[in-house]
Amino acid sequence: MKPILEMKGIDKSFNGIPVLQKIDFSLGEGQVVALVGGNGAGKSTLMKILTGVYARDSGRILLNGKSVNFSSYADANRYGLRMIFQELSLVPTLAVYENIFLNNEIRKGFTLDKNKMIAQTNELLESLGMRFSPNVITAGLDVGYQQMTEIAKALSAKAKILVLDEPTASLSDSEVKVLFETIRNLKTQGVSMVYISHRMNEILEISDQVTILKDGKVVADESAKNLTVADMVSHMLGGSAEKRFAWTPRKNPPTTEDMLVVQELKINGLDTPISFNVKKGEVVGIAGLMGSGRTEILETLFGIRQYTAGKIAVDGEEVKIKNVSDAVNAGIALVPEDRRTQGLVLTHTVKHNAILPVLNRIKSWVMIDEKRADAIVNEKVSELNVKTDSIHKTISLLSGGNQQKVVLGKWLSSEPKILLLDEPTAGIDIGAKGEITDIIRNFADTGNSVIMVSSELVEMMAVCDRIIILCDGKITGEYTRENIADITEEVLQNAIQG
User: Per rule CB under 8 A, is residue 352 in the interface with another protein?
Assistant: yes
Site string for another protein, 135-174 (x = CB under 8 A): ----------------------------------------
Residue number with CB closer to another protein (155 or 314): 314
**Distance in Å, CB of 73 to another protein, minimum:** 13
User: Per rule CB under 8 A, is residue 17 in the interface with another protein?
Assistant: yes
The stretch near another protein (CB under 8 A) out of 175-183, 261-269, 356-364, 438-446 is 356-364
User: Per rule CB under 8 A, is residue 71 in the interface with another protein?
Assistant: no
**Distance in Å, CB of 328 to another protein, minimum:** 5
User: Per rule CB under 8 A, is residue 348 in the interface with another protein?
Assistant: yes
Helix (H, G, I), strand (E, B) or coil at 293: coil
Binding test (CB under 8 A) with another protein, winner from 366, 382, 482, 490: 366
Q: CA-to-CA distance for 379 and 398, rounded, in angstroms?
A: 18
* C-alpha 45 chain-centroid distance: 19
First to last CA, the chain: 42
For the chain, the maximum distance between any two Cα atoms, rounded to a whole number of angstroms, is 77
User: Per rule CB under 8 A, is residue 55 in the interface with another protein?
Assistant: no
The stretch near another protein (CB under 8 A) out of 162-170, 205-213, 305-313, 396-404 is 396-404
Residue list 295-314, contact with another protein (CB under 8 A): 302, 304
Q: CA-to-CA distance for 240 and 201, rounded, in angstroms?
A: 20
User: Per rule CB under 8 A, is residue 196 in the interface with another protein?
Assistant: no
Residue number with CB closer to another protein (287 or 386): 386
Q: CA-to-CA distance for 144 and 34, rounded, in angstroms?
A: 20
User: Per rule CB under 8 A, is residue 248 in the interface with another protein?
Assistant: no
Helix (H, G, I), strand (E, B) or coil at 199: coil
The stretch near another protein (CB under 8 A) out of 38-46, 220-228, 309-317, 444-452 is 38-46
**Distance in Å, CB of 316 to another protein, minimum:** 23
Residue number with CB closer to another protein (410 or 466): 410
Q: Is 64 exposed, middle or buried (0-12, 13-18, 19+ CB in 10 A)?
A: middle
Q: What type of residue sits at position 399?
A: S
Binding test (CB under 8 A) with another protein, winner from 60, 158, 363, 371: 363
Helix (H, G, I), strand (E, B) or coil at 452: strand
Q: CA-to-CA distance for 342 and 361, rounded, in angstroms?
A: 22
User: Per rule CB under 8 A, is residue 392 in the interface with another protein?
Assistant: no
Residue list 219-238, contact with another protein (CB under 8 A): none
Residue number with CB closer to another protein (40 or 80): 40
The size of the interface with another protein (CB under 8 A), counted in residues, is 43
Binding test (CB under 8 A) with another protein, winner from 3, 343, 424, 434: 343
Binding test (CB under 8 A) with another protein, winner from 347, 382, 486, 490: 347
**Distance in Å, CB of 13 to another protein, minimum:** 9
What is 44-110 written as a DSSP string? HHHHHHHTTSS--SEEEEEETTEEE--SSHHHHHHTTEEEE-SS----TTSBHHHHHTTTS--EETT
Residue number with CB closer to another protein (183 or 267): 267
What are the backbone angles phi and psi of residue 280, rounded to the nearest 5°?
-65, 130
Q: Which of 203, 457, 422 is nearest to 293 (CA)?
A: 422
Q: CA-to-CA distance for 418 and 138, rounded, in angstroms?
A: 38
Contact of 283 with 465, CB cutoff 8 Å: yes
Binding test (CB under 8 A) with another protein, winner from 357, 431, 447, 477: 357
**Distance in Å, CB of 42 to another protein, minimum:** 9
Q: CA-to-CA distance for 252 and 442, rounded, in angstroms?
A: 9
Q: What type of residue sits at position 441?
A: R
User: Per rule CB under 8 A, is residue 204 in the interface with another protein?
Assistant: no
DSSP 8-class letter at 232: H
User: Per rule CB under 8 A, is residue 367 in the interface with another protein?
Assistant: yes
How many Cβ atoms sit within 10 Å of the Cβ of residue 141?
Answer: 17
Q: CA-to-CA distance for 142 and 120, rounded, in angstroms?
A: 22
269-281 burial code (b ≥16 CB/10 A, e <16): ebeebbebebbbb
Residue list 311-340, contact with another protein (CB under 8 A): 323-325, 327-328, 334, 336
User: Per rule CB under 8 A, is residue 356 in the interface with another protein?
Assistant: yes
Binding test (CB under 8 A) with another protein, winner from 399, 442, 476, 493: 399
Q: CA-to-CA distance for 163 and 53, rounded, in angstroms?
A: 13
Exposure on the CB side of residue 138, measured as CA atoms within 13 A: 21
Binding test (CB under 8 A) with another protein, winner from 206, 298, 344, 418: 344
Interface positions with another protein (CB under 8 A): 14-15, 17, 19, 39-40, 44-45, 48, 54, 302, 304, 323-325, 327-328, 334, 336, 341-348, 352, 355-357, 359-360, 363, 366-368, 394, 396-399, 410
